[in-house]
Chain A
């Protein structure tokens, strides 16, 4: 799949040991180009990747724009049903809604570029500043959640991979799958019932202290934990099946050292990738968790906005989420190119 269709069909008969010219693999002299063309190729690849990401971002932004327009006439939301036609007209003019759609679209794109995500209908404030006000709370939640997910998920996955096919594997894999199957908000509610209502150990809502963070972070971590554990298991078991692991064992390197120093090092990349990408997805997972714990983050803000049909604010939060996601994707690519010597 890496070298185009025809190369895949190249028959690979066993190389004859007696043939001195038995250069196996793709590195034939004809292919040995100098480092500059290699670097140019990598650059080309990076440029293509960035272009594709930007194209995706543009489409995502356009979809978000349409989402913002879905509301039809926001004047009713703001002024109520009793407003006169003149009042509506004036408001529409103030909001810039009387201009051609295309002009509005380009204004919107320009705004996104300059960090201006429009005005909330509900709060009469700049969406950007409101998002920035709420962001720290969500970040706190996401950071705690993802750390917990990594701390539990990675060992769980390694455990399953190193004991593949055993009872341990099955148990760890099922726990991971369970994390992927449980409705996050319900899990949160049950934690509240158990730890806050019945046992009274931890607070059920609000934020502030570390104690307040425990339950929401735990709830938040469940889904990414499952994803991380499953991917860790998959890439670890793949890495453990590689011949170099056998070679390492043959050289007398044993047990934990093989697992962590050799296999895990090679399984790192996919794991790191999923951790970063899960962080991006958590922004949208925050909605349910923040709702359950009345956590004053972006998710709450989004829900409020939706409740009040404040579509410019909804749109702004969606745009913000998309930007974060694309940036994280870019980050993953950068990490890839630094860590993977083949790409560099």
Chain B
């Protein structure tokens, strides 16, 4: 797991620390140097390691800047989905009965809606802003989290220590929040990790369609969108942000998978 966490840490450091060092090329337009290819391609220069866009702005600087936005949105987007999702899944899985039935119907209803359209419609209407983006990420993410938490809860609640606590006079709420929840900690962390990947993908899709983050703010998704019109002349503008999203999400998913198998309550008996 260390070997997965390491590159993620490297990305985070690069994105958050590099801008502070002053090593990056200056931001700003340079109309004499538009659509320059990256330094390692013929015709490129290392003064712009990833090349420049149609206004001659340095792509590496933009890339790092946008990476910060992407990662932060991924993290916050995962948290806002995990929070309500975990809570509802916990309640449904523990109390069963009508609580479970109501929550399960809500989960199914949410999953039945084509989420990308719902997200687009909400944003188209309310306008692009970070709060709306997080609302959309929460709406599209909670159901899956709730479903997984629900089934994990149903496993943990059958353990005998729950009966023991009940026999000692512990209230149901105490059992749920003091005992079941901590025992799901690993699963929830794993779920949250996977959700970071999902949130980054959704955000980049929304930004790509022009309804995610809006200028002057940039994410990898919006850089990609900007590069779409330049594909035939300057493919690298869109290439690197997309590659970055892919690799970052891959790493996050690998880490999440590893955590999930590690904490699967069905595989670990105690």
Do A and B touch, yes or no (CB under 8 Å, in the complex)? yes
Interface on A for B, CB 8 Å cutoff? Answer: 1, 5, 8-9, 52-53, 55-60, 63-64, 67, 70-72, 174, 177-178, 180-187, 189-190, 192-193, 197, 283-285, 287-288, 291, 302-303, 306-307, 309, 311, 314, 317-318, 321-322, 325-326, 329
A56-B112, A183-B221 known, 8 other contacts, Cβ within 8 Å: A59-B105, A70-B121, A181-B252, A182-B249, A193-B232, A287-B114, A288-B205, A291-B209
B120 interface hit (Cβ, 8 Å): yes
Nearest residue, chain A, Cβ from B241: A186
Whether B117 and A183, one on each chain, are in contact in the complex, defined by CB atoms closer than 8 angstroms, is no
Q: With the chains together, A184 CA to B198 CA distance in Å?
A: 12
Q: Are A283 and B114 in contact (CB under 8 A)?
A: yes
**Is the contact region of chain A dominated by helix, strand, or loop, or is it mixed?**
helix
B250 with A317: CB separation less than 8 A: no
| Residues of B67-112 contacting chain A, CB below 8 A | 101, 104-106, 108-112
Complex CA distance for A8 and B159, rounded to whole angstroms: 9
Query: In the complex, A143→B160 CA distance in Å?
Result: 48
Residues of B within 8 A of A309 (CB): 124-125
Cross-chain contact B115 with A284 (CB below 8 angstroms): yes
Q: Does B257 contact A (CB under 8 A)?
A: yes
How far is the CB of A327 from the nearest CB of chain B, in Å?
10
Minimum Cβ distance to chain B for residue A138 (Å): 12
Instruction: Report Cα–Cα, A64/B112, bound state, in Å.
Output: 11
Contact of B257 among A1, A9, A177 (CB under 8 A): A177
Distance, CA A329 to CA B242, complexed state (A): 33
> Known contacts A67-B122, A193-B231: does B250 contact A186 (CB below 8 Å)?
no
Closest to B120 in A: A306
Partner of A1, one of B155, B211, B228: B155
Query: Complex: how many Å from CA A318 to CA B112?
Result: 9
Query: Top 4 A-B pairs ranked by shortest CB distance?
Result: A186-B242, A284-B114, A56-B108, A321-B114
A302/B109 in contact, CB under 8 A: no
Residue-wise, chain B 221-232 has the 8 Å CB interface mask toward A (1 for contact) of 100100010011
Q: Does B208 contact A (CB under 8 A)?
A: yes
Listed by A's residue number, 5 A-B pairs whose Cβ atoms lie within 8 Å are A60-B113, A63-B113, A186-B246, A189-B224, A284-B115
Let me know if B254 is at the binding interface, CB within 8 A: yes
Query: How many whole Å from B240's CB to the nearest CB in chain A?
Result: 11
* Cα–Cα, bound, A55→B107 (Å): 11
* Contact of B246 (CB < 8 Å), options: A63, A71, A181: A181
Q: What residues of B have a CB within 8 angstroms of the CB of A60 in the complex?
A: 109-110, 112-113
A56 touches B239 (CB 8 A): no
Cα–Cα, bound, A64→B121 (Å): 10
A311 to B123, CA, bound (A): 12
Does A318 contact B114, Cβ atoms closer than 8 Å?
yes
**Contact B231–A197 (Cβ < 8 Å):** yes
Is A306 a contact partner of B246 (Cβ separation < 8 A)?
Answer: no
| Contact call A189/B105, Cβ cutoff below 8 A | no
A186 nearest in chain B by CB position: B242
> Cα distance A287–B119 when bound, in Å?
12
Please state if A321 and B104 are interface contacts (CB–CB under 8 Å): no
* Chain A residue, CB-CB nearest to B108: A56
The listed residue (A5, A64, A287, A322) touching B158 by CB distance below 8 A is A5
Contact A189 B125 (CB under 8 A): no
Is A183's CB under 8 angstroms from B109's CB? no
Interface centre among B110, B112, B115, B231 (most CB of A within 10 A): B112
**By the criterion CB–CB under 8 Å, are B204 and A183 in contact?**
yes
Return chain B residues, CB-CB under 8 Å to A302. Answer: 117, 120
Closest to A281 in B: B114
B189 within 8 A of A: no
Contact yes or no, A71 B197, CB < 8 A:
no
Could you say which of B117, B154, B228 contacts A287, with CB atoms under 8 Å apart? B117
User: Is B199 interfacial (CB-CB < 8 Å)?
Assistant: no
Residue on A nearest B208 in the bound complex, by CB: A185
Contacts of A311 in B (CB 8 A): 121, 125
> What's the Cα separation between A67 and B112 when bound, in Å?
14
CA distance A238 to B155 in the complex (A): 18
Q: Which residue of B lies closest to A311 (CB)?
A: B121
A155 CB to nearest B CB, Å = 21
Residues of chain B within 8 A (CB-CB) of A326 are: 112
* A282 smallest CB distance to B (angstroms): 10
Given the known interface contacts A5-B158, A9-B160, A71-B125, the answer about A185 and B205 at a Cβ–Cβ threshold of 8 Å is yes
Contacts of B158 in A (CB 8 A): 1, 5, 8-9
CB-CB < 8 A to B190: which residues of A?
A: none
Distance (whole angstroms) from the CB of B116 to the closest CB of chain A? 5
Is B235 interfacial (CB-CB < 8 Å)? Answer: yes
Complex CA–CA separation, A325 to B113 (angstroms): 8
Decide: A189 and B115 in contact? CB cutoff 8 A. Answer: no
How many angstroms between the C-alpha atoms of A139 and B228 in the bound complex? 26
The chain A residue with its CB closest to the CB of B249 is: A181
- How far, in angstroms, from A246 to B141 measured CA to CA in the complex? 41
Q: A59-B106, A177-B254 given as contacts; is B201 within 8 A of A183 (CB)?
A: yes
Q: Smallest CB-CB separation from A52: which chain B residue?
A: B105
Q: How distant is A176 from chain B, measured CB to nearest CB, in Å? A: 10
User: Which one, A56, A181, A284, contacts B253 given CB within 8 A?
Assistant: A181
